[in-house]
A = this chain, B = another copy of it.
């Protein structure tokens, strides 16, 4: 039985996506154009993501700070490329209280400027380095077309900003945080990713280079999912972040920044969910087990409560749905909201000394004898589900990964089924532009250790320099 409130994803993927967001009550449109309301289930997902990533950031030696929301225009302009990149898409505050401001202030689209300004005050000596800070906050970019979680004017994110004594250390940090993102995506979100370097055209304004985490959605469209930037001394020179080095000479620092956003919730939906609603990997699901009593009798409820306590004792998150709705309604709700495991018990099950366990992803039902150790059974199911969700996503990603040798092959493939296209590139931006004419296909990243597929560029046929993964992006 299919959820009637949800369009089939194979019929209309875009409609399916917004149907899932609405049916699972993750977010609601707001009265503020281009901004959404994060409803409790959507925000709980963000809290799980935050909690998990924050732990990984702290374990790699980072501390959290908080910078102001507003950036004076003059401060923003110090680094030319950044303001150039963001000018068309920032919101400006021009009135404060009842007065016109002397200088307009922009709502942060990102905080390199504020971090750099701060670092220029507090760093004097190599002894003050490194500083490895991160902040969780809201940012704003004045987008024209928006979609819940994927692209909105305001979004929530984390932005790491670090300062180092040497180029080597900063480059190592840039790479390390890319690896942290990759681990988070694969181990927690169960989303296989490819990583590599952005081309000059696609890199972050102001960065020397950008490393990226790229994921493929169910429909073969790709999503830039997190990025890590190496700045070299660009901001250090623009904002005068200098220090006395070990030779007692004045040097400029080396910087990095790295970010990931609430867009990850969009990735979770588009990789794993189905025509019955949300499907969440157990390690990131705010609630892992939903228990549903078939009859609300004391005997059934007591048994539920005993099992709930056992499971909570080992850190599994559980809800027991004791509302007055029908069992069928509760099943549907647990399903559409993506709770990984459903446990049902009724009078008859108790007579047979068993409970019924249903996995959300496969929707397979299983009778579990109460003779078995319920903790082990549930832990195994959660672990297996996490692994199988990753394996399924990877199999689909691999099935939609193609190698192309000529432009007409790329075109034919993108017409038939978009995906990751592996192809060689000469390094010329004109060839990137030609590629873009094919339904907006862009370079996702240059593989650092990519094998040489051909001697020639897929577009112009001249000598190829890079193994690039291409794709149509959200």
Q: Which residues of A contact B (CB under 8 A)?
A: 28, 30-32, 35-40, 43-44, 46-47, 63-72, 75, 87-98, 104-105, 107, 114, 117-118, 121-122, 133, 137-138, 140, 142, 144, 153-154, 156
CB atoms of B30 and A43 under 8 A apart? no
Decide if A94 touches B94 in the complex (CB within 8 Å). yes
Question: Shortest Cβ distance from A32 into chain B, in angstroms?
Answer: 4
Contact A43 B68 (CB under 8 A): no
The answer to whether B118 and A67 touch across the interface, beta carbons within 8 angstroms, is no
Contact B40 A71 (CB under 8 A): no
Using known A-B contacts A30-B118, A121-B28, determine if residue A154 contacts B94 with beta carbons closer than 8 Å.
no
**Other CB < 8 Å A-B pairs besides A32-B71, A69-B107, 7 of them?**
A28-B118, A28-B121, A30-B68, A30-B114, A35-B70, A38-B66, A91-B97
Contact of A32 among B30, B105, B137 (CB under 8 A): B105
5 contacts between A and B (CB under 8 A): A40-B63, A69-B107, A91-B97, A96-B142, A107-B107
Bound: A156/B68 CA distance, A: 10
Whether the pair B156, A66 counts as a contact (CB closer than 8 A) is yes
**Once the chains are docked, how many angstroms separate the CA of A75 from the CA of B31?**
8
With A137-B138, A142-B96 as known contacts, state yes or no: A65 contacts B38, CB within 8 Å.
Answer: yes
Interchain CA distance A142-B38 in the complex, whole Å: 26
Closest to A144 in B: B97
Q: Which residues of B are found within 8 Å of A90, using beta-carbon distances?
A: 96-97
Cross-chain contact of A37 among B39, B43, B68, B72 (Cβ < 8 A): B68
Bound CA span A35–B105, Å? 12
- A91 and B93 within 8 A (CB): yes
Contact check, B68 vs A35: say whether CB atoms are below 8 A apart. yes
Do residues A95 and B94 form an inter-chain contact, with CB atoms below 8 A? yes
Q: How far is the CB of A241 from chain B (nearest CB, A)?
A: 14
Whether B107 pairs with A154 at a CB distance below 8 angstroms is no
Chain B residue at minimal CB-CB distance from A40: B63
Complex interface: chain B residues within 8 A of A71 (CB): 32
Measured between C-beta atoms, what is the minimum distance from A136 to chain B in Å?
10
Contact A63 B44 (CB under 8 A): yes
Return A235 CB to nearest CB of chain B, in Å.
15
Whole-angstrom distance between the Cβ of A256 and the nearest chain B Cβ: 17
Chain B residues positioned under 8 Å from A91 (CB to CB): 70, 93, 95-97, 105
Evaluate contact between B64 and A40: CB separation under 8 angstroms.
yes
A67 touches B30 (CB 8 A): yes
Which residue, of A75, A118, A133, has the highest number of chain B Cβ atoms within 10 A?
A118
Using CB atoms, name the residue of chain B closest to A69. Answer: B154
Which of A44, A91, A118, A153: most chain B CB closer than 10 A? A91
Complexed CA–CA distance, A51 and B469 (Å): 42
Q: Considering the complex of A and B, which 10 residue pairs feature the smallest CB-CB distances, nearest first?
A: A35-B68, A38-B66, A40-B63, A92-B95, A97-B142, A32-B68, A96-B142, A94-B94, A91-B96, A91-B93
Complex: how many Å from CA A30 to CA B111?
13
Which of B37, B92, B122 interacts with A65 by CB under 8 Å?
B37
Q: Which of B35, B43, B75, B98 is the one whose CB lies under 8 Å from A64? A: B43
Q: In the bound complex, what is the Cα–Cα distance between A153 and B69 (angstroms)? A: 10
List the B side residues contacting A43 at CB < 8 Å: 63-66
Neighbouring B residues of A87 by C-beta, 8 Å: 98
A342 to B332, CA, bound (A): 55
Chain B, Cβ-Cβ closest to A101: B91
Task: For the complex, give the distance between the alpha carbons of A279 and B44 in Å.
Answer: 34
User: Known: A87-B98, A88-B98, A137-B138. Contact between A65 and B39, CB under 8 A?
Assistant: yes
CB of A339, distance to nearest CB on chain B (Å): 16
